[in-house]
Amino acid sequence: MKKIILPITIFIITIAACTKENANKDDEYKNYLTKAEWTMSTSSIINDTVTEHYTNGQPDEVFTLRHTTTIGTGTRKDEMYQLQQEVGFADYSRKETYQYNFSIRYKFNEGGVYSINQSTQLVSLTYEQTGTPVTTAPITQPTATSSESKSWSWQNIDDMKYILTLDLGSLEVASISENTLILKLNTSDSKTVVINPQETKIVKTSQAINIKMIR
């Protein structure tokens, strides 16, 4: 009997120690998160949708839609890109690029609520299209500001993985310290839609989010 009790006792002690260690880590990370305001920096969000069209099992058209947001220090760039590839025709593409003066700040409280303070000013628009010269128009607009509050939640998936749920989705905490917070998310999906007995389409979607916040 003693030979059985000893390993079980060691196992229980190990579990208790791990639980305590995780609890300490939770408290440490939560303290980092709620201590002061965060500013988003050097971040990107990419959303892709690729639709493949088939007639009688043969591919005849591919339509790609990509929306990219890139955030730097005091700047933001939004790109909306479309590409149409149809069998028997030349490819057609268009892209609109919006440049902003931009800042966004997050403040988390321990009660599960966070505030977002955002400042946005559109400064230029660039338009590109197949067969058309690239045009860029400077824009003078007043700065728009907004503030709102939303809910956040914190989840420990396992000993090494934490999830922070925000308005952007449930993001993996890649790294957190007193002055830096790095979040990421990568998802993909594919579905087949039968339009009629002759036509089908496959819709592939993906999202890649990489966010860095600093103090």
Cα three-residue angle 204-67-138, rounded to 5 degrees: 160
Q: Please, which pLDDT band fits residue 151 given cuts at 50, 70 and 90? A: very high
Total number of domains constituting the chain: 1
Provide the 3-class DSSP secondary structure of residue 12: helix
**Is residue 57 within a helix (H) or strand (E), and if so which, with residue range?**
none
Per-residue pLDDT, 24: 62
Sequence-separated (6 or more) residues with CB below 8 Å from residue 123: 99, 100, 101, 138, 139, 140, 141
Q: Which residue has the higher pLDDT, 21 or 114?
A: 114
Q: Please, which pLDDT band fits residue 154 given cuts at 50, 70 and 90? A: confident
103 bridge partner residues: 119
52 touches 58 (CB < 8 A): no
Q: What are 186-196's pLDDT values in tens digits?
A: 999 999 999 99
Provide the 3-class DSSP secondary structure of residue 198: coil
Question: The domain containing residue 22 runs over which residues?
Answer: 2-214
Q: What are 29-38's pLDDT values in tens digits?
A: 888 999 889 9
Q: What are 46-70's pLDDT values in tens digits?
A: 999 999 999 999 999 999 999 999 9
With 0.85 as the threshold, say if the pTM is over it: no
20 bridge partner residues: none
Core vs surface per residue 156-185: b (16+ CB within 10 A) or e: eeeeeebbbebeeeebebeebeeeebbbeb
Per-residue pLDDT, 29: 84
